[in-house]
Structure 1
């Protein structure tokens, strides 16, 4: 086995809670959308569902009417940018990824978020150019803890799991990263306290 096989060539990061603390912005936007649809979303219930794929989130909060689900999704996407002031960047991780990218390493985002919401947030934070590949919830059939999204990024970038490092913040994310065969760094709130 050559040493080159062990060289780090790809960094993949989750977005919500890992690269950016989006909890408050997401909660405010969802609460707004729920109210507009005659529903109520409590802070505690949202906290319990944070990081879930949208369909799983809707199931847990008990909204099974597909028309209401679609209205909430549409409204949330429209109002989300109005809450971007609540976004909190993980500067130590962003700086690390930026240095790695400048040095020729490949970088990617693998998030269960909707592509539109992800693209808007990345633009707002001026991070779009930092990533060679961005996969969103629509790009996979199975959400985390299934490793599909991580495996798809590695396949697209033509880089093996042994040469990949993943940054994650949630239990489902850790499980997906581990199942992909790559190494994983667990992000917690301390990364945002600089």
Structure 2
């Protein structure tokens, strides 16, 4: 992936990877600095592996979901000292739940379930207050989804007209996203665009 900065092509920093092994391969690279510029200061060859990111799955199980890298200013490094997080594509930074939960939630909404029932099916909890937060976050990404689909205008699908107004607009785009991506659409979106799905 490349972007244009200072009139030259520079390799851009990916945020999402297929799995932990691919993150390791990217960051360790035989213990040499990563030849990609820092997203904060644009200095090259200052990025170094800085440890794993874990998610607590239960009281006794913590799973590796990503890795931190640092723009090193230690031991003579010329970096800015900022850290960046790299994640496996199934994870949402800052969320307790991963892409599989959000996929179940959205797929259940697409078949006509209420927001509360869809959230309960996805997470196993009865309180749907987080479901509305998820929908708010999805609505904020609406323009990005349309841009990804190369679909300039919002559409109304007769299947979703008896729904709440926000779902009448959001669900047709989610439906098109799901059909255009693979078996794990939320994770695939993150991997292909390098943007957060939610």
For the superposition of Structure 1 and Structure 2, which TM-score range results when normalised by the shorter chain? Answer: under 0.3
Higher strand share: 2
Scaled by the length of structure 1, the TM-score of the pair is 0.26
Higher helix share: 1
Determine which structure has more spread, i.e. the larger CA radius of gyration.
Answer: 2
Q: Which has the higher contact order (CA 8 A, sep 6+)?
A: 1
Scaled by the length of structure 2, the TM-score of the pair is 0.26
